[in-house]
Amino acid sequence: MSLINIGKQITIYVGWSLLAIGIVGNGINIFIFSSVQNYRQTPCTFYFLISSIDNLLILFVNLLSRILILGYEIDLTKTSLFWCKFRSYTINVFPLSSFSYSCLSSIDQYLLTSRNVQIRRLSQIKYSYRIVFFLTLFWFIHAIPQILFFDNSSQQTCSNTNPSYSIYNTIYILTFSSTFPILIMIIFGYFTYCNIQLIRTLNEHQIDYQLLRMTLFQIILILITVGPYGINHLYELIQSFVNKNKSENESLISTIFSLLYYVNFSGNCYMFLICSRRFRRQVKHRLFFFRYKQNQINPTQ
């Protein structure tokens, strides 16, 4: 079996697995974060909720179409101008939005752990609503050139028709889709760690240790999944300048890193289950009707 066929089989089996796992995981996140009262009132979990909704859209539109194109050679972007433009648009909007929400959750934990009262007050749910609205609106506007410049009329393939925008497209993939989110989360994760070292006890500042762990594990997941994808894309960019055609080995590696990239949008729930006891309890209680025994004092009659 050739490496190209191996890549197709990996795309099919791993891709469908990630799609199923991601639908279940993000569905659990959406249900828990929207139904538990304490979670609904916290900026950090609000970012988790919006990110999970966005991740579902990424899986349904971007990953599913990738499986059909690379695994089964069913490419609707070649025959449908609408799908060509729509897929190009969503590939730009949804991942950038998801990374932004992850960065916001990391920044929020830095705000909460600050010793400065004025900085801590910036972590409020009313501010989170506004930030998410305007940030999402920005990414939707930012991706409009994808609709204007992508076309499938030439060479029967969906591609960018504007050379200048191609240059910008490459830059934004290397920055906004990999480098910047990782740097922002590492920086604010480090600042949060420094803040914690300066605090005698987390309870004094009413800091939720469970949310700290969930945010930390989310950062680790993005480092593991998005980091290699960005490095591989940089390598492919360098290779394109020397006019070297991609070999079968490089195509297989690119397929693996691209699927690893989608693990980030499928795996948050399972990271939360690993690191947060309270999240596990809520999942057991609300999904599996698991009741915890509580000590009760009956009033005298």
Tokens, residue 81: 């101008």
pLDDT digits (tens, 9 = 90+) for 14-58: 999 999 999 999 999 999 999 888 888 899 999 999 999 999 999
Distances (CA, A) of 10 to 71, 103, 184, 256, 284: 8, 30, 32, 8, 33
Boundaries of every domain in the chain = 3-287
**C-alpha Rg value of the chain to the nearest Å:** 22
pLDDT at 155 over 90: no
Q: 293 in the Ramachandran plot: left (φ > 0), alpha (ψ -120 to 50) or beta?
A: beta
Return the higher-pLDDT residue of 216 and 248: 216
Tokens, residue 233: 């894309």
Specify the CATH class of 3-287 in words: mainly alpha
pLDDT digits (tens, 9 = 90+) for 87-115: 999 999 999 999 999 999 999 999 988 88
For strands 159-160 and 150-151, give the pairing. Answer: antiparallel
pLDDT at 293 over 60: no
pLDDT digits (tens, 9 = 90+) for 230-289: 898 888 888 777 766 777 888 889 999 999 999 999 999 999 999 989 899 999 888 876
pTM for this structure?
A: 0.90
* φ and ψ at residue 187, rounded to 5 degrees: -60, -50
Provide the pLDDT for residue 299: 37
Q: Element (H or E) spanning 119, and its range?
A: helix 117-120
